[in-house]
Amino acid sequence: MVPALTGLTTIAKSIGLDLQGSIASFDGVYDSKANRKAIFNRGLVPNIPENRRGRKKTKRGRKMLFDADIFQERFCTIERVFAWEDKFRRLLLRFERISSLHYALKTLAYTMINLRNFCRG
């Protein structure tokens, strides 16, 4: 996850976007001290649900920050995008062996999704 955060902050700086205080919402899979610290050190606020990892009792210590409403909105948005992407059969099963061609088809699919939504209104 650290390389992805580094890439995100690099891109944000290059286009002049300030991410200080922004909320970074991830799945419970990324719930670890190292990931939370990496997010926090980049000036972001981590919003990750606690991963109980088979624990029967709650974890001792200070409660981690987590806003369920923000997480639910993020989850619904991402699942909606995946459902829209699944309408394109060629992307559903990856037939392309060349990665650049596959990502070009994904870009075309997302362009068609955006056009459909923008032209509707």
| DSSP one-letter code for 56 | S
Per-residue pLDDT tens digits for 24-45: 888 888 888 899 999 999 999 9
Higher pLDDT: 57 or 68? It is 68
Of the candidates 88, 30, 22, 19, the one whose C-alpha atom is nearest the C-alpha of residue 64 is 30
* Token code pair at residue 94: 């990856």
SS3 percent helix, strand, coil of the chain, rounded to 5, is: 55, 5, 40
Q: Taking 70 as the threshold, does the pLDDT of residue 121 lie above it?
A: no
Q: What average pLDDT is seen over the chain?
A: 85
In the three-class reduction of DSSP (H, G, I as helix; E, B as strand; rest coil), residue 41 is classed as: helix
The pLDDT of 98-105, averaged and rounded, is 88
